Amino acid sequence: MTNVGFIGLGIMGHPMVLNLLKGGHRLALYSRSGVAQGLSEAGGVACDSGADVAKCSQIIIVMVPDTPDVEQVLFAPGGVAEGLSAGKTVIDMSSISPLATKQFAAKIEQLGCQYLDAPVSGGEIGARSGALTIMVGGREDAFIAARPILELMGKTITLVGENGAGQTAKVANQIIVALNIEAVSEALILASKLGADPVRVREAIAGGFAGSRVLDVHALRMIERTFNPGFRIRLHKKDLDIALRAASDVGMSLPATAMTQQLFNACVAHGGENWDHSALVKALELMADHCIG
Amino acid sequence: MTNVGFIGLGIMGHPMVLNLLKGGHRLALYSRSGVAQGLSEAGGVACDSGADVAKCSQIIIVMVPDTPDVEQVLFAPGGVAEGLSAGKTVIDMSSISPLATKQFAAKIEQLGCQYLDAPVSGGEIGARSGALTIMVGGREDAFIAARPILELMGKTITLVGENGAGQTAKVANQIIVALNIEAVSEALILASKLGADPVRVREAIAGGFAGSRVLDVHALRMIERTFNPGFRIRLHKKDLDIALRAASDVGMSLPATAMTQQLFNACVAHGGENWDHSALVKALELMADHCIG
């Protein structure tokens, strides 16, 4: 049994904590909006601050929305850093900037502690079933030590490289998923506008080089018009913001990522910030004045 | 045994003819650049024109590069239409315009014949092994009658819809493949530029929603710098030209297809018209001044 701290108890954090409790660990919890009764009843102990969580935990997990949130949780007054002592490990499972991650990791290591960036994919469903994909950056010894804890939350767990590499893999993942959704959208709208049945077009090409998880899953959502999340457009847009910021910071060009982010913006303009990301197709349908459904 | 005509004996047509001969059919052949000795020795009969091919064949297959080539093979003086008589079937296996296809089909049907558009994917390797994916548009009775012939050349054979629907599925396929290559390129260059190992990033994300045939196959070519075709950039660029022309003709917008076609153009500007299409990554590497390899 390990003393695990967990900060950030939202749609993802809540079920992840439940899986850690089921695994027999002692959980110290903190969230800016309080600790849900269900988590206390399941055995979690509510703390007054991130510093308090860090004081009574060997491993401190952070699962909050964005880069500034992680910075605040770790380094603001009353934050995790204040409660750390040498030998503890901070695991940031949020999806945030790879470059900021390297800075956060360096600051935590200066306190004699270890830092792992360990963002996830697989969404709420993966969080509930303990089947998340976890992409890890950090030192191998810290990874090996933390692995039994991570295995209670995820199924495919990969040490990608040094600190920042986990976040980098997540950003790469989100670029590919968004752009694959965009690709399938353009293809199916054109097919539909040319008079072909998108269902049969999809079937005809799914087994070849056009095949992808997005063509399997998201194309069906487009055809069946089932746009309840799933994964929300505002979150995917945030992930592309991280990609574009990182590209700008290192001086490189991501033209299709930039364009796809603008299509997410177009969805937001039409009230779609909480649509599933497959509803990106709607932005292109608006331009085409044609709906594939 | 069926009398089959075959027009267009290039990289694709040549091995497709060999598979039809192996299937026991009588082959009448025509190509503007003559009939290779190997095809005559295997039993194919060289004809002097498309009209001559059509006169002695029940099914006439066309496999040439682009829309104007098909138009000329079918309707120019001495072309297939001159040699047709009622009850024969023309199968165009080239990858050409879906809209022009509908016109060609209408003209052939006016002669009392059937028309199938049946473009393929799977490339030279698929043509040799008889394992092409074949996407068919046309009437179901013509499809059923032609199916035994198509099965000698392809493995996954789908009737997508009416005439033009086969070409439409092919265009959709080529859009998705090109844009998925673009997506993987952006993701891996960013990852590499941020200091992560693209090999491990690819492994970490391949099992999730970023998974695709392109991430399986083309990403490896990018990492290993093996850009001998495969599928040539100039051919994929031609397919995107068809997509963009069709989109323009029906009045819709394919922003990522247009941008990706411009990246293929950038490769051509650097001498890459015969590189494998995965070398699209080079256009983005030039912009980033950074190579993932």
For A9, other C-beta atoms within 10 Å of its C-beta total: 25
For residue B220, the model assigns a pLDDT of 97
Alpha carbon B158 to chain centroid distance? 15
Would you call B169 and A211 a contact, using CB atoms and an 8 Å cutoff?
no
Q: Taking residues A94-122, report their average pLDDT.
A: 98
Q: How confident is the model at residue A172 (pLDDT cuts 50, 70, 90)?
A: very high
For residue B221, the model assigns a pLDDT of 97
Say how far apart CA A255 and CA A257 lie, in whole Å.
6
Q: What is the architecture, at CATH level 2, of domain B168-288?
A: Orthogonal Bundle (1.10)
Kindly state the percentage of chain B with pLDDT values over 90: 98
Torsion sign, CA atoms B277, B278, B281, B282: negative
Say how far apart CA A216 and CA A157 lie, in whole Å.
23
Amino acid at site B197:
D
Contacts 24+ apart (CB under 8 A), B129-134: B130/B19, B130/B154, B130/B155, B131/B155, B132/B16, B133/A204, B133/A205, B133/A207, B133/A208, B133/B157, B134/B93, B134/B158, B134/B166
Report whether pLDDT(B293) > 80. no
Q: How confident is the model at residue A16 (pLDDT cuts 50, 70, 90)?
A: very high
Residue B279 DSSP code: G
Nearest to A208 among B122, B204, B287 (CB): B122
Residue B16 DSSP code: H
C-alpha Rg value of chain B to the nearest Å: 20
Q: Which among A170, A237, A238, A282 is annotated as catalytic?
A: A170
Q: What is the pLDDT of residues A68-96, one digit of tens each?
A: 999 999 999 999 999 999 999 999 999 99
In DSSP terms, A29 is beta-bridged to: A6, A46
Contact B101, B167 (CB under 8 A): yes
Domain B3-161 matching CATH 3.40.50.720: the answer reads yes
Q: What is the pLDDT of residues B252-275, one digit of tens each?
A: 999 999 999 999 999 999 999 999
**Strand pairing report for A132-137 and A120-121:** antiparallel
For residue B292, the model assigns a pLDDT of 93
Would you call A168 and B196 a contact, using CB atoms and an 8 Å cutoff?
yes
Chain B residue with the nearest C-alpha to that of A203: B158
Whether the domain at B3-161 and the domain at B168-288 fall into the same CATH topology: no
Dihedral of the CA atoms B112, B113, B117, B122 (nearest 10)? 180
Whether residue B55 lies in the annotated active site:
no
Say how far apart CA B120 and CA B94 lie, in whole Å.
8
Dihedral of the CA atoms A28, A31, A35, A38 (nearest 10)? -80
Chain A residue with the nearest C-alpha to that of B252: A288
Chain A residue with the nearest C-alpha to that of B132: A208
- Residues in CB range of B161: below 8 A, 6 or more apart: A195, A196, A197, A200, B137, B168
For residue A293, the model assigns a pLDDT of 72
Average pLDDT score, chain B: 97
Q: What is the pLDDT of residues B145-202, one digit of tens each?
A: 999 999 999 999 999 999 999 999 999 999 999 999 999 999 999 999 999 999 999 9
Q: Taking residues B41-68, report their average pLDDT.
A: 98
Say how far apart CA B64 and CA B146 lie, in whole Å.
19
Q: Mind telling me how many Å the CA of B256 is from chain A's nearest CA?
A: 6
Which spans in chain B are helix H?
13-22, 37-41, 50-55, 67-75, 80-83, 98-109, 123-129, 140-151, 165-193, 198-205, 213-224, 233-250, 255-269, 280-288
Output the CA–CA distances (angstroms, integers) from residue B149 to B53, B120, B226, in the order listed: 17, 14, 35
Say how far apart CA B180 and CA A185 lie, in whole Å.
12
For residue A230, the model assigns a pLDDT of 86
Say how far apart CA B119 and CA B114 lie, in whole Å.
16
Q: For testing the chain A interface, which of B116, B192, B194, B254 should be mutated: the one with the most A CBs within 10 Å?
A: B194
Q: How confident is the model at residue A257 (pLDDT cuts 50, 70, 90)?
A: very high
**What residues in A contact B210, CB-CB < 8 Å?**
172-173, 176-177, 180, 213
Is the previous residue joined to B230 through a cis bond, with omega within 30 degrees of 0? yes
Would you call B252 and A175 a contact, using CB atoms and an 8 Å cutoff?
no
Nearest to A259 among B250, B256, B289 (CB): B256
Domain spans of chain B, in order of start: 3-161, 168-288
